[in-house]
Structure 1
């Protein structure tokens, strides 16, 4: 009896609502106690909530290979990048400009707090170089506390030439590193007709990945209604194949025929957004066909890595 009680105690959910033996919500595949639970912090499922740029921040962190956006931090401008040289969390350039990277996994439980701690260290640095975190950042400013709460102007790049934009003399090591980094970049474009939708050419297929802000259950219901009605296509030959969850938001993914490109998606995606709003407002119970569509969509989890 005592052994059973101890087992229940070990499996009891933590303060963050995740049991120590349950899979970590970050998607690592590890148990919570061996991943984010080992840091002593509580996992924050939607770390960028409340920021006007939340959806684009999720995109830059999860799947946009090379992009930049200026951030207003007090009286300074910080360059936010998807990825920095040597996978640095942040860099202070020779000019004194601060660069901050989104695609860094500190595993301390709250990416917004991690980014806030790195950003504060970089701004306070006295000399150029790489800035990062070695120890858990503890309580303190999160990204929401530091940056202006406004949409960000994302520039998607074909490669990482912007890494060396302020470097006057380039050596062979720089050239080799740049060539290697550029070789891993899939052509990507941000659509302008809607927010946080990105076209990507993955080689054998093209995709549209669209970070959406709605509550997950309501969004699944709406997508199921559109799918059952045959109204979820966004271009000739396109197919809604599933979605993935990242930082508390759903990102539906459409497969596109090779050669589709980004430009032809602008009007169809804007039209789909209108249909989605109507489906979200519809309310009521799903019919049998819609329930089947919802189950299919919920079970088709797209893997990016």
Structure 2
């Protein structure tokens, strides 16, 4: 090391020591707020701390698992919402044109988009902010797109504004719902719709169980099942079923891993090509019953079950 570098390092060390001696937080030290970030990237940043991250933003909402699936996994779907303080029509959508966060339609109805480009740390508060802005536009008789250009701050959360309850999800084959209320469709609209819909993988929501979605991605078929249970408890139950061979839904199917999205786990099965959604209905019901029993089992895991749990834990991909 050269003399100049040694001198520079000694000076920097002395500065850090004097800073720490004075009781201040060094820029490279963990931020005292507990975020896990360095101080210079959190409360010591020039623009102030980044928005707080919420690990499970839709916890407590009865439709949590479907909402997460629509936000992260399902290409084209809608669900009606009821507001606590208004009878205005509100429609939850997976994706709106241009990934727009919200829209006020000509008839005053509000559409909310789940698959958006912004991420301010708490999707529940983001969604509520878009909804409030859309309500303001609608009350003023204004229609059009509604964005969210900045973090919403300490406003209400999604569950503060909507009536709690399961979502009545309708999965669509394309984005034709974008033009449901448009009477005078133009060739340009139809062309844009066709282009957007061309990227959609066929998807079906199973009817007999909660929040399970079959999809065909061309070379493979999958079942992706959003589950609300605590992660460790669910992994334990899945490990018990795996060791017994009770996680095989149909011949040739295999539980290959899981997504972690907004605080919940979404187990994923690979399915033989040609399986389809209909044949999964009864096996999925049987699996749900077996899973409920495994969740109630509080006995110690066997060595085989511990190994299976460790393997499942290592096959997780975090989306959010």
TM-score by length of 2: 0.85
Map of 1:156 onto structure 2:
171
When residues 41 and 297 of structure 1 are mapped into structure 2, their CA distance, relative to the original with a 3 A threshold, is same
Could you tell me how far apart the structure 1 residues matched to 2:280 and 2:135 are? 40
Flag the structure with larger Rg: 2
CA contact (8 A) 2:95 2:113 kept: yes
Q: For 2:213 and 2:146, how far apart are their aligned partners in 1?
A: 29
Residues in 2 aligned to 1:94 and 1:252: alpha-carbon distance in whole angstroms: 40
Give the aligned partner of residue 300 of structure 2: 285
Question: Is the counterpart of residue 64 in structure 1 residue 74 in structure 2?
Answer: yes
In 2, distance between residues paired with 1:265 and 1:13?
Answer: 49
Per the TM alignment, residue 173 of structure 1 is displaced from its structure 2 partner at its CA by: 2.2
1:98 matched residue in structure 2? 110
Partner Cα separation in structure 1 for residue 116 and residue 42 of structure 2: 19
Shift of 1:285: 2.2
Counterpart of 1:83 in structure 2 is: 95
Alignment match of 1:20 (pick from 2, 16, 37): 37
1:240 maps to which of 246, 255, 260: 255
**Cα pair distance change 1:202/1:251, threshold 3 Å:** same
Q: 1:223 aligns with which of 224, 230, 238?
A: 238
Structure 1 unaligned segments of length 5 or more: list them. Answer: 22-30
Number of residue-to-residue matches in the alignment: 293
| Structure 2 runs not aligned, ≥5 long | 1-12
Distance in 2 separating the partners of 1:56 and 1:250:
12
Matches within 5 A, 1:86-165: 86-125=98-137, 126=140, 127-165=142-180
Deviation, 1:179, is 1.0
Pick aligned residue for 2:215 from 172, 175, 200: 200
1:20–1:266 CA distance, 2 compared to 1 (3 A):
same
Alpha-carbon spacing, 1:53–1:153, altered in 2? closer, same or farther (3 Å)? same
Preserved CA contact (<8 Å) 2:42 2:49: no
Q: Give the direction of change, closer, same or farther, for the CA distance of 1:224–1:85 in structure 2 (3 Å limit).
A: same
Residue 18 of structure 1: how far off its partner (Å): 3.7
- CA drift of 1:11 comes to 4.6
| TM-score in terms of structure 1 length | 0.89
Does the 8 A contact of 1:92 with 1:131 survive in 2?
yes
Cα 1:113/1:246, change in 2 over 3 Å: same
RMSD: 2.4
